[in-house]
Protein backbone atom coordinates (compact mmCIF):
# COMPACT_ATOMS: atom_id res chain seq x y z
CA UNK A 1 0.00 0.00 0.00
CA UNK A 2 1.47 3.34 -1.01
CA UNK A 3 1.10 6.91 0.11
CA UNK A 4 -1.76 7.38 -2.34
CA UNK A 5 -3.94 4.60 -0.99
CA UNK A 6 -5.74 3.57 2.18
CA UNK A 7 -7.20 0.28 3.35
CA UNK A 8 -10.77 -0.02 4.63
CA UNK A 9 -12.68 -2.98 6.01
CA UNK A 10 -16.24 -3.42 4.71
CA UNK A 11 -18.86 -5.64 6.36
CA UNK A 12 -22.06 -6.62 4.52
CA UNK A 13 -25.29 -7.56 6.31
CA UNK A 14 -28.67 -9.12 5.58
CA UNK A 15 -29.41 -9.99 1.95
CA UNK A 16 -26.43 -7.95 0.76
CA UNK A 17 -24.12 -10.54 2.32
CA UNK A 18 -25.71 -13.21 0.11
CA UNK A 19 -25.58 -11.01 -2.98
CA UNK A 20 -21.86 -10.23 -2.72
CA UNK A 21 -21.07 -13.76 -1.56
CA UNK A 22 -19.21 -12.78 1.60
CA UNK A 23 -19.76 -11.08 4.90
CA UNK A 24 -16.73 -8.81 4.80
CA UNK A 25 -13.70 -7.79 2.81
CA UNK A 26 -10.69 -5.51 2.95
CA UNK A 27 -10.38 -3.00 0.12
CA UNK A 28 -7.42 -0.88 -0.88
CA UNK A 29 -8.72 2.39 -2.29
CA UNK A 30 -7.27 5.69 -3.46
CA UNK A 31 -6.60 8.25 -0.75
CA UNK A 32 -9.46 10.76 -0.78
CA UNK A 33 -12.11 8.19 -1.71
CA UNK A 34 -15.43 9.10 -0.11
CA UNK A 35 -18.08 6.70 1.14
CA UNK A 36 -20.27 7.77 -1.79
CA UNK A 37 -17.56 6.89 -4.31
CA UNK A 38 -16.70 3.68 -2.43
CA UNK A 39 -20.29 2.50 -2.78
CA UNK A 40 -20.97 3.82 -6.27
CA UNK A 41 -17.58 3.06 -7.70
CA UNK A 42 -15.47 0.45 -6.02
CA UNK A 43 -18.15 -1.85 -4.58
CA UNK A 44 -20.56 -1.48 -7.51
CA UNK A 45 -17.77 -2.37 -9.96
CA UNK A 46 -16.49 -5.25 -7.83
CA UNK A 47 -20.00 -6.57 -7.06
CA UNK A 48 -22.28 -5.31 -9.88
CA UNK A 49 -25.13 -7.47 -8.61
CA UNK A 50 -25.21 -5.30 -5.46
CA UNK A 51 -25.44 -2.00 -7.31
CA UNK A 52 -29.26 -1.94 -7.39
CA UNK A 53 -29.34 -2.35 -3.62
CA UNK A 54 -26.76 0.38 -2.94
CA UNK A 55 -27.69 2.97 -5.54
CA UNK A 56 -30.78 4.54 -7.07
CA UNK A 57 -31.13 4.68 -10.86
CA UNK A 58 -29.95 8.30 -10.66
CA UNK A 59 -26.65 7.07 -9.22
CA UNK A 60 -27.32 8.52 -5.78
CA UNK A 61 -26.85 6.35 -2.71
CA UNK A 62 -30.04 4.53 -1.75
CA UNK A 63 -31.91 6.06 1.20
CA UNK A 64 -33.01 2.50 2.07
CA UNK A 65 -29.52 1.41 3.03
CA UNK A 66 -27.79 2.38 6.27
CA UNK A 67 -24.07 2.84 6.61
CA UNK A 68 -21.89 3.01 9.65
CA UNK A 69 -18.33 4.27 9.66
CA UNK A 70 -16.36 3.17 12.69
CA UNK A 71 -19.62 2.32 14.50
CA UNK A 72 -21.22 5.73 13.84
CA UNK A 73 -24.26 6.13 11.62
CA UNK A 74 -23.40 8.01 8.43
CA UNK A 75 -26.02 10.50 7.31
CA UNK A 76 -26.34 11.83 3.78
CA UNK A 77 -24.28 14.90 4.63
CA UNK A 78 -21.28 12.75 5.52
CA UNK A 79 -21.20 10.59 2.40
CA UNK A 80 -18.68 13.01 0.87
CA UNK A 81 -16.18 12.79 3.73
CA UNK A 82 -12.89 11.12 2.69
CA UNK A 83 -12.30 7.70 4.18
CA UNK A 84 -9.22 7.14 6.32
CA UNK A 85 -6.83 4.23 6.55
CA UNK A 86 -8.29 1.58 8.86
CA UNK A 87 -11.92 2.73 8.64
CA UNK A 88 -14.54 0.04 9.10
CA UNK A 89 -17.69 0.43 7.00
CA UNK A 90 -20.87 -1.49 7.84
CA UNK A 91 -23.54 -1.75 5.13
CA UNK A 92 -27.12 -2.61 6.16
CA UNK A 93 -29.71 -2.81 3.35
CA UNK A 94 -33.31 -2.32 4.35
CA UNK A 95 -35.20 -5.50 5.06
CA UNK A 96 -38.88 -5.44 4.20
CA UNK A 97 -41.53 -7.37 5.98
CA UNK A 98 -45.15 -7.45 6.53
| Residue 61 maps to a domain | yes
Model confidence, pTM: 0.88
- Greater model confidence, 2 or 92: 92
Q: What is the mean pLDDT of residues 75-90?
A: 94
Q: What is the CATH number of the domain that holds 25?
A: 3.10.20.30
| Residue 98 maps to a domain | no
| Residue 12 maps to a domain | yes
Model pLDDT, residue 48 = 87
Q: Which residues contact 7 (CB under 8 A, 6 or more apart)?
A: 1, 26, 27, 28, 29, 85, 86
Tally of domains within the chain: 1
| Residue 54 maps to a domain | yes
- Greater model confidence, 94 or 22: 22
| Residue 27 maps to a domain | yes
For 22, the domain range is 5-93
Model pLDDT, residue 54 = 86
pLDDT, one tens digit per residue, over 8-54 is 999 999 999 999 999 999 999 999 999 999 988 878 788 888 888 88
List b or e across 72-84, with b for residues whose CB sees 16 or more CB atoms inside 10 angstroms.
eebeeeebeeebe
| Residue 88 maps to a domain | yes
Model pLDDT, residue 94 = 76
Amino acid sequence: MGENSVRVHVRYYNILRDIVGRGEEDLTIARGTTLRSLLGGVIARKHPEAEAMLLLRSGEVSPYTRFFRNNRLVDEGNLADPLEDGDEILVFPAVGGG
